[in-house]
Structure 1
Amino acid sequence: MFASLLTIIYLIASVTFIVGLKMLSHPETARRGNLIAAGGMGIAIFGTIFLYKTSTGEHLGNLVWMFAALIIGAVLGTISSKKVKMTAMPEMVSLFNGMGGACAMLISLIEFNHAKNTTIELGHFLAIVLGLIIGSISFAGSIIAYLKLSGKQKDISFKGQHIFNALLFLIILVGAVITYNADVTMAPTYFYITFALAVIYGVFFVLPIGGADMPVVISLLNSLTGVAAACGGFLYNNKAMLTGGILVGAAGTLLTVLMCKAMNRSLLNVIIGNWGGSVAASSNTSAGGDFKEVTLSDAAMVMSYANKVVIVPGYGLAVAQAQHTCHELEKILTDKGVEVTYAIHPVAGRMPGHMNVLLAEADVAYEKLEEMEEANNNFKNTDVVLILGANDVVNPAAKNDPSSPIYGMPILEVEQAKTVIVNKRSMKPGYAGIENALFFQPKTSMLFGDAKKVLQDLCAEIKAS
């Protein structure tokens, strides 16, 4: 009876994961979808604690430890998620993703320890070792990504690093094979060596990858965590864990492929390309020319009398936490009869969908968000483009400078508009470490200052005009 009821609970949880993931595809239903999926996970957890029985017919023990861990984790998760700023959201995503990889890694370590003195079937061993390798890589890589995104770790690369990484990965696979074929006395030694090498590989895998590619890396690591979790589902014959892992792995993989396509690059090229790393930064550091500034009053007047204004949000908008003020500017211009839309680049910000999340938080209508292809078709009919803290995703060097490290990456072709206004704190280069030739074009004007303060002043000027 308990087993049947638990199977039904796992089935319900699996359905909530699928429904929740579907609802995450639209801002209006995303919050509800997240709650539905979380509710499904909740019933799966408590169903396992109270209904699962071991092979000897006993319920799970150590309930005090389980609930203590649940309470501590819930408190820490709630506090950290409430305190985190939108600018730090990518770091939190990386950290949480790393914790998922760590869980899969620990499951494999524990399960191998339970079975190390017995003959392990090939299927069971594959689930253990794949969970160990993938989980370890995801954990170590996500922690390095967290440190890099938070500015605590710089890009590190050395000559022949990609060859070193490839050889290290090959050694890990060989170690897994040796572990399976070793006798029971030596197998643990080879297993833990494989584990240590997988952690080292995760570190060296992410260390050289440059800033412009970090959104893709985060998506890839997320998919790896899902695959590692699915391995745990195989180990325990847990349908909910298996379904959740497959969904995360598949969604992360598809997102990674789509983002690579949007950047006109292959996944292999992202891994070995080092965009935004020290090499890229030194290859093209000067676009040359003079820039011109625009006053707040002139910028306000140009936008007030425009027919169409397109806002391009970037990381600078997130840093200033100016999304609500940006939405206020949109409403003021709309009341004056100006058509206002937002152009969203797939890899703007520091994680997949960063700008979409930012604007959704400010209640910007989803219909006003234009994807890159649609926006590029409309720029020629746009009077004013207002760029808020975006840099690399509007850099024309990606189209016309073969020596640029971002050459070939599709960009928002804002230079087609009649007037371009760029809000930045300074003329420092973007995350990829290269200067932007757009800032020196005749139709481009610079509006320096903190995005939130500038937008507040623009709103006041436009209201007064």
Structure 2
Amino acid sequence: MVGIINLVYLLSAIGFIGGIKLMAAPSSARNGNLLSAVAMILAIAATAILMVVQHHQLNNVYLLVALLLVGTIIGKGLSQSYEMTRMPELISLFNALGGLCALIIGINESFISDMAIEQSTIKIVLLLGVFLGGASFSGSIIAFYKLAGKMKTSFRSKALTFGCWFLVISLSIWHFFQPNVALSFQTLSLIIGAISLVYGVLFALPVGGADMPVLISVLNAVTGIATAISGMLFESTIMLLGGILVGSTGVLLTIQMCKAMNRSLKKVLLGQTAVVTKKGNTGEALQEIQTISTAETASILAFSKNVAIIPGFGMAVSQAQKECFELQKRLQGLGAQVKYIIHPVAGRMPGHMNVLLAEANIDYSDIVEMDEVNHNMGQFDAAIIIGANDVVNPAAETDSESVVYGMPIIKAYQAKQVIVMKRGMSAGYSGASNPLFERANCKLLFGDAKYSLHQIIEEVKMI
């Protein structure tokens, strides 16, 4: 029986890896998600059978099924109540629950195991799982509130952060070297769990709005590592492998995000941004801009041979991806070539725009990364920017005092004509004002992106 269970675990592991591979492309991401779900069901079923056959823990199986049903109901409800624009918030919330599980598992294990006779290595691993799980939980909650726009603070305290590390290390050393007179291991795990919650808050608070995609990646990686540690404690191969996959992919994604933003991970996590000046970064300074109507926009697009569509969070808010696809088909019917240019950190999380465009059945061959076209942006007769702000902000290249300075951007300003679709003159998520709006080749089209695109499509039909 154990051999069969291990075979099922192996198949589950292959399913996890295959699922991640399929998720690399939007066209196959749905199948990848389905494959991973099936692999998880196999792993859970195998574990339940093992409980009954080898350990005779039928009551635990009943508890497992009950918790799975409750979790399914909660997960289904949350996924249906959150729109695509709020998907990053939902991911942060789910990641928080993963960290909370690791925290509870670690503390629970410290109480049910006979830690008086366990090796110090096991204790260290368990405490590490508790600390990482707690930090991931509270950090993800802070990320959730920041992404929801309910928290703007960027509080940073090196003293408090250092104090958390000092307490964790000093209390652990005290326990290991004075086990008979110091606090018990159970008490130590509770104290470190509490400290980890404080540390998670301190860890996430300094991260600025533009750096939130990096924070999400880091917290995912931390949760994965905490899960892998739980797998080590329970000698669960499948839990260990799952944690390693989540942790390693989170680390790789974090590296890619930092590279895309030209930021070091250290600066992101310490909240080290450029000096904010009122003129450069609040968006309050008056700008001399040119406006444009939907009819004029349609005329420009109808006579353009190369068109770039640069989506951002504004497209997600208005749910305008299907209108983008309709406009693309109309322009292609007039002989134009249309490309969607995606910045790695556009939106509120990595891959946000890719998911939205895939939802509208836009062909993946029409989607390009900024590095593929940035050297030749002048080829585009028109560039339509839909709700993106920070990722096309020339201040990143020219203003050393801007909070986005040094971040690679899509060089939309090099296109022959730039049309920016915005609801108003508010700044982007980073709070930086955008000098692109003042350029001679840039015009602003105000209004809801979905409605504006619908109007443009109707105008194009008449040309």
TM over 0.5: yes
> Residue 102 and residue 458 in structure 1: after superposition, are their counterparts in 2 closer, same or farther (change >3 A)?
same
C-alpha contact 1:304 1:333 (8 A) present in aligned 2: yes
Q: What is the distance in 2 between the residues matched to 1:179 and 1:429?
A: 52
Of 240, 244, 268, the match for 1:242: 240
Letter of the 1:186 counterpart: L
Q: Deviations over 1:309-339 (max 9, x none)?
A: 0000000100011111111111111111110
Structure 1 partner of 2:262: 264
Q: What is the distance in 1 between the residues matched to 2:197 and 2:233?
A: 21
Pairwise mapping of residues 172-251 of structure 1 onto structure 2 (< 5 A)?
Answer: 172-183=168-179, 186-187=183-184, 188-251=186-249
* 1:219 shift after superposition: 0.7
Structure 2 partner of 1:25: 24
Q: Deviations over 1:261-317 (max 9, x none)?
A: 1111110011123559x9677873356540010111111000010010000000010
Taking structure 2 as the reference length, the TM-score comes to 0.95
Taking structure 1 as the reference length, the TM-score comes to 0.94
Aligned length: 460
* 1:202 shift after superposition: 0.2
C-alpha contact 2:396 2:404 (8 A) present in aligned 1: yes
Structure 2 partner of 1:348: 346
* 1:63 shift after superposition: 3.0
Structure 2 partner of 1:51: 50
Pairwise mapping of residues 404-423 of structure 1 onto structure 2 (< 5 A)?
Answer: 404-423=402-421
**3-state secondary structure, aligned to 1:429:** coil
Q: What is the distance in 2 between the residues matched to 1:430 and 1:420?
A: 17
Pairwise mapping of residues 421-440 of structure 1 onto structure 2 (< 5 A)?
Answer: 421-440=419-438
- Higher mean C-alpha deviation, range 187-196 or range 38-47: 187-196
Structure 1 partner of 2:102: 104
C-alpha contact 1:281 1:434 (8 A) present in aligned 2: no
Q: Which runs of 5+ in 1 are unaligned?
A: none
C-alpha contact 2:154 2:208 (8 A) present in aligned 1: no
> Residue 259 and residue 81 in structure 1: after superposition, are their counterparts in 2 closer, same or farther (change >3 A)?
same
**3-state secondary structure, aligned to 1:273:** coil
Structure 2 partner of 1:369: 367
* 1:194 shift after superposition: 1.4
* 1:170 shift after superposition: 3.8
**3-state secondary structure, aligned to 1:302:** helix
Does 2:152 match 1:154? yes
Structure 2 partner of 1:133: 131
Structure 2 partner of 1:84: 82
* 1:154 shift after superposition: 2.2
Of 302, 308, 311, the match for 1:310: 308
C-alpha contact 2:130 2:189 (8 A) present in aligned 1: no
- Higher mean C-alpha deviation, range 232-241 or range 114-123: 114-123
**3-state secondary structure, aligned to 2:59:** coil
C-alpha contact 1:292 1:444 (8 A) present in aligned 2: yes
Q: Deviations over 1:421-459 (max 9, x none)?
A: 000000111100111000111110000000110111111
> Residue 20 and residue 117 in structure 1: after superposition, are their counterparts in 2 closer, same or farther (change >3 A)?
closer
Does 2:160 match 1:164? yes
Q: Which runs of 5+ in 2 are unaligned?
A: none
Q: What is the distance in 1 between the residues matched to 2:271 and 2:257?
A: 15
Q: Deviations over 1:172-201 (max 9, x none)?
A: 233333344442671233322211111000
Letter of the 2:264 counterpart: S
Structure 1 partner of 2:454: 456
**3-state secondary structure, aligned to 1:52:** helix
C-alpha contact 1:309 1:341 (8 A) present in aligned 2: yes
Q: What is the distance in 2 between the residues matched to 1:384 and 1:412?
A: 14
**3-state secondary structure, aligned to 1:62:** helix
**3-state secondary structure, aligned to 1:237:** coil
Structure 2 partner of 1:380: 378
Q: What is the distance in 2 between the residues matched to 1:85 and 1:281?
A: 34
C-alpha contact 1:90 1:149 (8 A) present in aligned 2: yes
Q: What is the distance in 2 between the residues matched to 1:71 and 1:233?
A: 23
Letter of the 2:225 counterpart: V
Identity over aligned residues, as a percent?
Answer: 43
Q: What is the distance in 2 between the residues matched to 1:244 and 1:36?
A: 14
Letter of the 1:166 counterpart: F
C-alpha contact 2:290 2:444 (8 A) present in aligned 1: yes
* 1:163 shift after superposition: 4.1
Pairwise mapping of residues 67-82 of structure 1 onto structure 2 (< 5 A)?
Answer: 67-82=65-80
* 1:12 shift after superposition: 1.1
C-alpha contact 2:396 2:405 (8 A) present in aligned 1: yes
Structure 2 partner of 1:285: 282
> Residue 337 and residue 230 in structure 1: after superposition, are their counterparts in 2 closer, same or farther (change >3 A)?
same
Structure 1 partner of 2:320: 322
Structure 1 partner of 2:357: 359
Structure 1 partner of 2:293: 295
